[in-house]
Structure 1
Amino acid sequence: MENQSINQMEQRKGRRLLLFPLPLQGHINPTIQLGNILHSKGFSITIITTNFNSPNPSNYPHFDFHFINENLSEDEKSQPNIVALVQLINSRCAQPFRDCLAELLSNVLEEPILCLISDVGCYFTRAVADELKLTRMVLRTSGATAFFSFSALHLLCEKGYLPIQDSQLEKPVAEFAPLRVKDLPLIDSCAPEELYELVDDMVNATKASSGLIWNTFEELEQPALATMGQDFGIPNFPIGPFHKRFPASLSSLLSQDQSCISWLDKQKFRSVVYVSFGSIAAVNETEFLEIAWGLANSKQPFLWVVRAGSTSKSDWLETMPKGFLEALGERGHIVKWAPQQEVLSHPAVGAFWTHNGWNSTLESICEGVPMICMPFFTDQRVNARYVAEVWGVGVQLEKREREVIERTIKGIMMEKEGEKLRGRVLDIKEKATRCLCQGGSSYQSLDSLVSHILSFQSFSPVLNYF
């Protein structure tokens, strides 16, 4: 066994890759998954990560980990403005990342490093990699359609769609059909100029990279992938869905409550509505109560993830109506966090009420579960519109009122509308499965990615880094 391990290490020598994730849950998961995918192809993997929101290295003994200090205060880490947080990460991480990278490259004669793969959101890595003469690729953890609309925010400003006016919310965006103005990938809580600056930095750093890796597949997003390939002028590698190759449960930053699986085991086939709005999105107290009553009034069993911070005025369930939980009995099960991939694959789950983060959207499609879409910001809005209007695998919840919620749940769980959605999502599920098989689009794209990375061996980085 020891000799086998030594042989594998020898085979990987000279095939080391550095991965750097944006330290947010929805970005860490696909980065770790990508690391596992590339490790399975014979590469050695080093993860450089911040101390903030770092994955547990003991879960990944086959990776090397290096930690940098992101120099963020506790208030800065917990601020609700996601754009400001990403900008802070980019400004504070540049020097410690450079120091870490330079140290790793100083050992290049002992083990050469082929390239750095950084999250698109970590645009500061462009300047560092250029300075140290290291080839850099980027990973985009959202879908191609959403990133395409992101990259066109300046065009949308010129066309008069932005800044958004309340009277124009339902107006179609002709250049990006079927999006409406309210579906554009913005964040309502931040100044538009901050977002435009962030997008410019991400897009420019991506175009300057040696390739773009996508957690998506051709059969789902071919038009956007084709357009992005032409506009950006760099190689594109759609090799997803990542989680169908390697699950992400070990990289969860929150403790997963396994009690929900034993509860699901007691429920009827496709009878449960699974509700989760991800690791960042929050609702106000009024919306929280409307969601609670809408679920209760639907009379359907439900599994609801209510993490700490899901509402602005409570740590968990303090705002629940008196007697609400007792009245539900066994029909409702509420947890702080759930093993989502395991939940979505459970036969009792009949629908997923989601914020439409890209990971959640892909996971739902790949398990053949139709969606109730309630996006909050950025790419979630684009994803939700495509789920409902292009792929036809869900319905968008336009109003967060209990009567609308009840009616929407009943429609997707009990009526013909739900059966049609389920039929379409099962069809795309099969395509997602086939694309990973030998000869499939993602299978071939991964082979192309491996060949592309190995071509970097002909380049030797300069050793005088200091």
Structure 2
Amino acid sequence: MELTNGTTRRAHVLMVCVPFPGHVAPFTQLLYHLSCHENLKVTVMGHKARNAEMIKLYEKGEFKGLDIHFETIFADPPVYPSDPKFPIRAALCADQMFVEFEPIRRRLVAEKDNVGAPTSIICDMFLWFTKDAADEMGVPWYPFFSTSQWFGYCAYIGDELARRNFHPHHSEEKDQRIDITGLEFAYVHDIPSEVLEFPEFYAKVTDRSFRATGILCNTAYELEGSAGTLMATKALVQRSGKKNLKGEEAQIIPVGPIAQIPGFGVQYSLRDQPYECLKWLNAHTEKSVLYIAFGSLGNIVPEVFHELALGLEAGGVPFLWALKLTPAQKEELLPEGFLERIQSSGMGFIESGWAPQTQILMHPAVGGFLSHCGWNSTLESLCAGVPMITWPLSADQPMNARFLVDVKKVAVTVLSGSADESVVTHDDISKAIKRLFGDEEGKQIAKNSLELKKLLASLVAEGGSTYKALRYFIQDLVMV
């Protein structure tokens, strides 16, 4: 781009992130894609802890060739005390970040004609206010939906969900399928409740997204298949009649699956020490071990630890459990003698520190993943070809789980018809384990998982739809 003084402007991407690890991970992978292009500058604005992780990777030699800068401008996110299972709400975090971003917005607008000013903005899906800054600067704006697309779609149609009283916990129709195009695969009780709890916030997210240059989605049309939520989103944007700065409709840009799995993204680690859990896996036969993890933010309620431990024992297969509890908490929450029994028998391994999840999922001994079904964990499991046992907690997780079980048929569930994880018993858990590992249903699910992995690999390979979408998108970024 040539400025009025004849100076040529260099492409400069401003990336603004939220502090949620599951949202930062796709941003980090996007940096690897951007690093393939010379003469491109990137500035990452975020929180201290997440920026520190990216900086550590950069100092280790990652993102080679990329002129990257980091600005830590946001404070720690507020806690949502009424929900100990999911203590950070996107709406409250974004509201705080809006205030903290205001002096940055004024600076960016004042400097918009400088030769080094940003030429485009990529932000987390929740940071609607950065669209206003982009408009004032006259640059393209791209929200990045790192969740599943059905979460974004529910956010877009929150007013309709509210009008029809489709509240996942209170609606009389909560056990009915959703009769809305793009969501027919799910039930009313699967709807993420926060899109109804914070309607004004999600209305702002929707308005800005519909006026974006492009909406980045960590999925693909082929991955969603009969769920069809991307197609429904595209139609919704068209019906809205809203236009971006160029007077055009927002483009839907499916760039997924992005995951820390070789072939689908760069595998990296912020920790260099050897992992005892991987050594433990080395002693087990192929596809014999169940891996259990519930993500970086979501937590099962304390009463459930006891039932889960008993269910794992009764399931009869070796298990690796990522469980960040202190010795005192383990003593209090786990069944008496549980740790001693699994250690003496070699049946189980408790990883109390940081678990290298993608390395675990790629290990040949792992034959199943009991998960909360966060979208990152879901994609990592699908890209590794590992079938799942679903135990969703909140946000988009119930819909993700429904998609895995009912649409793609690569998982079984522990919920046994209930949407409340607090009523899951050890019998529910052991039955789910035996279904996945012990009968013909499990064999078919494993086969489906491998077939889906092959499909997803074809999308990111040269010539695939994701491969093309990413390259067209990055080409637009650098052609300023």
| TM-score, normalising length: structure 2 | 0.83
1:321 match = 335
CA distance in 1, matches of 2:306, 2:254: 40
Q: 1:303 to 1:317 in 2, by over 3 A?
A: farther
- How far off its partner does 1:52 sit? 5.2
Q: 1:132 to 1:293 in 2, by over 3 A?
A: same
CA distance in 2, matches of 1:167, 1:34: 42
Name the stretch that deviates more: 215-224 or 21-30.
215-224
CA distance in 2, matches of 1:333, 1:83: 28
Equivalent pairs counted in the alignment come to: 435
**Residues 351 and 371 of structure 1 are in contact (CA less than 8 Å); yes or no, is this contact kept in structure 2?**
yes
1:4 match = none
2:316 match = 299
- How far off its partner does 1:274 sit? 0.4
Task: Work out which of the residue numbers 180, 183, 187 in structure 1 matches 2:187.
Answer: 180
Task: Work out which of the residue numbers 46, 50, 58 in structure 2 matches 1:49.
Answer: 46
CA distance in 2, matches of 1:387, 1:172: 16
Q: 1:411 to 1:286 in 2, by over 3 A?
A: same
1:113 match = 118
2:419 match = none
CA distance in 1, matches of 2:129, 2:405: 35
CA distance in 2, matches of 1:107, 1:146: 34
**Residues 216 and 252 of structure 2 are in contact (CA less than 8 Å); yes or no, is this contact kept in structure 1?**
yes
Letter in 2 for 1:97: F
Identical-residue share of aligned pairs (%): 26
**Residues 48 and 68 of structure 1 are in contact (CA less than 8 Å); yes or no, is this contact kept in structure 2?**
yes
2:246 match = none
**Residues 83 and 194 of structure 1 are in contact (CA less than 8 Å); yes or no, is this contact kept in structure 2?**
no
- How far off its partner does 1:415 sit? 0.9
1:28 match = 24
Name the stretch that deviates more: 205-214 or 164-173.
164-173
Report 1:154-169 matches (<5 A). 154-162=159-167, 164-165=169-170, 168-169=173-174
Whether 2:136 is the aligned partner of 1:131: answer yes
2:145 match = 140
- How far off its partner does 1:401 sit? 0.8
Q: 1:93 to 1:323 in 2, by over 3 A?
A: same
Report 1:199-218 matches (<5 A). 199-218=202-221
Q: 1:351 to 1:417 in 2, by over 3 A?
A: same
Name the stretch that deviates more: 406-415 or 196-205.
196-205
**Residues 138 and 209 of structure 1 are in contact (CA less than 8 Å); yes or no, is this contact kept in structure 2?**
yes
Task: Work out which of the residue numbers 255, 263, 266 in structure 2 matches 1:247.
Answer: 266
Letter in 2 for 1:186: S
**Residues 275 and 354 of structure 1 are in contact (CA less than 8 Å); yes or no, is this contact kept in structure 2?**
yes
Q: 1:96 to 1:259 in 2, by over 3 A?
A: same
Aligned partner of residue 147 in structure 1, secondary structure: helix
Q: CA RMSD in A?
A: 2.9
Q: 1:346 to 1:317 in 2, by over 3 A?
A: farther
- How far off its partner does 1:136 sit? 1.5
Task: Work out which of the residue numbers 418, 439, 460 in structure 1 matches 2:463.
Answer: 439
**Residues 165 and 171 of structure 2 are in contact (CA less than 8 Å); yes or no, is this contact kept in structure 1?**
no
Task: Work out which of the residue numbers 69, 72, 87 in structure 1 matches 2:91.
Answer: 87
CA distance in 2, matches of 1:263, 1:300: 14
Q: 1:152 to 1:40 in 2, by over 3 A?
A: same
Letter in 1 for 2:265: F
Higher relative contact order (CA 8 A, sep 6+): 1
Q: 1:276 to 1:83 in 2, by over 3 A?
A: closer
**Residues 315 and 433 of structure 2 are in contact (CA less than 8 Å); yes or no, is this contact kept in structure 1?**
yes
- How far off its partner does 1:256 sit? 8.6
- How far off its partner does 1:137 sit? 0.9
Structure 1 unaligned residues grouped into runs of 5+: 1-11, 458-466
**Residues 459 and 465 of structure 2 are in contact (CA less than 8 Å); yes or no, is this contact kept in structure 1?**
yes
- How far off its partner does 1:131 sit? 3.4
Structure 2 unaligned residues grouped into runs of 5+: 1-7, 238-248, 417-423
**Residues 158 and 196 of structure 2 are in contact (CA less than 8 Å); yes or no, is this contact kept in structure 1?**
no
**Residues 71 and 92 of structure 1 are in contact (CA less than 8 Å); yes or no, is this contact kept in structure 2?**
no
Letter in 1 for 2:457: T
CA distance in 2, matches of 1:405, 1:64: 47
2:380 match = 363
Letter in 1 for 2:341: A
CA distance in 1, matches of 2:223, 2:172: 33
**Residues 83 and 198 of structure 1 are in contact (CA less than 8 Å); yes or no, is this contact kept in structure 2?**
no
